[in-house]
A and B are shown apart, each in its own frame.
Chain A
């Protein structure tokens, strides 16, 4: 059976009723053009938020704001109860220890092996060598890439690189995972593998996550399927059911045009949402 890093539940233990991530009236612009305008939403513990929107609508910027990689022009962003928009970078480095992030193209360090990429954070934290090896293998086993441990990113396919990026994001057992278009540019079969990994993290380890995508099929697969631990793959939720912990956000021209459940999304009367979903 596939084992995986056990997530810490410190966020939940902090205060189970407190949201993991809160955006309040967040705005940011570049060269005079507003990219995000008064964005407000919350991610609850154990919840998976899928952020939809056309290309260039500011989805990746929003994700970088959530991790403190960018600072908003106005509004407040709270992660695990701590306001991060004015937090010094040194403190942010500490906070990011509880956040895993999967970048659009994986963003693996091309001069390091898969092992060193996945172990990067653990090595920086001076975790003992044996513990590093054990946890790296555990994370790689989770994404079923144990055999690539000594390879370099350039020797892997696009899909394998994304899976290594997921292993790197989960190796320190984060309380929140940010996925930036994890299936972007991949073929349907590989995309399904990635979606299954996201689902496994959601259903087996109940990690809160914010996932950016513009692929509706991936988003709805996450909403309509669940991970079966016995079978070790995803299965549809019986009776056309929907995952209650998976909710949607939709961006359009820098504005949040939808914040709600899968059911509300598919029954929305908003002309843009209708057109986007059609």
Chain B
């Protein structure tokens, strides 16, 4: 019966949301309980944060560059190429820096978390961990969650900086603009609400990346095929959520700060 099918799908969806909420709730709360796996947190921060630096630098630089190139050609029609820096820095700090950095980190780390934890699930290593008296959420999920939130914050700042620099390189060396004017407009246009908006986003996105990656990893079933499925789903779901939540945060921030 079609109705029964809809009911079963709805129940499964609801159960998944419930499991996700329980997992993330426990992962957040575990930081306040002993034992705390500080060494694991540092290892994850290194792997997620330092390991992502090259892709974040490259993405940030080229995004800033292409933004300057595109903006300059549009602004030239109005004789306003002088505000290229303003456009690049605002776009990078409020939107592209957080979103693109998160998408890159999601592609690299949400998939990594889902496949690593998924492999541990299908080879019974998670069960073995529980049988040995260790809470796998505390040992595996909590360090990943906090490490991602913490490191994504700084990766975004790095991306914003490199993006603005990339825009400057293109503006000065390819478009022949004045460097000091670029940096002056880029700096002068920024207000605290822009910075706040740009820094709130990576905190939320970091949470999405780690929680979705770990959730799909910890719910993996069905051998190596299941691991592959979880990995793909983790990247797809976290990426879509990042873009969707970005809209919500932007709307909220504009509502609060008026810009």
**Which chain A residues have a beta carbon within 8 Å of chain B's beta carbons?**
64, 67, 69, 89-90, 93-94, 96-97, 99, 101, 103-105, 107-110, 120-121, 124-125, 168
Contacts and interface: CB of A to CB of B under 8 A. Distances in A.
Contacts of B134: 93, 120, 124
Contacts, number: 49
B35 A103 contact: no
Contacts of B35: 124
Given A89-B135, A93-B135, A124-B35, A109 B130 contact: no
Contacts of A108: 125, 128
Given A89-B135, A124-B35, A96 B130 contact: yes
B137 to A, nearest CB: 9
Contact of B133 (A93, A103, A104): A93
Contacts of B125: 107-110
A70 to B, nearest CB: 9
Size class of the contact patch on chain B:
10 to 19
B39 to A, nearest CB: 11
B135 A107 contact: no
A107 B133 contact: no
Contacts of B244: none
A225 B128 CA distance: 30
A101 B133 contact: no
Interface in B23-70: 35
Most chain A beta carbons < 10 A, residue from B130, B131, B134, B135:
B131
10 contacts: A69-B127, A96-B133, A97-B133, A105-B123, A105-B124, A107-B123, A107-B128, A108-B125, A109-B128, A168-B132
Interface in B192-225: none
Interface in B126-172: 127-135
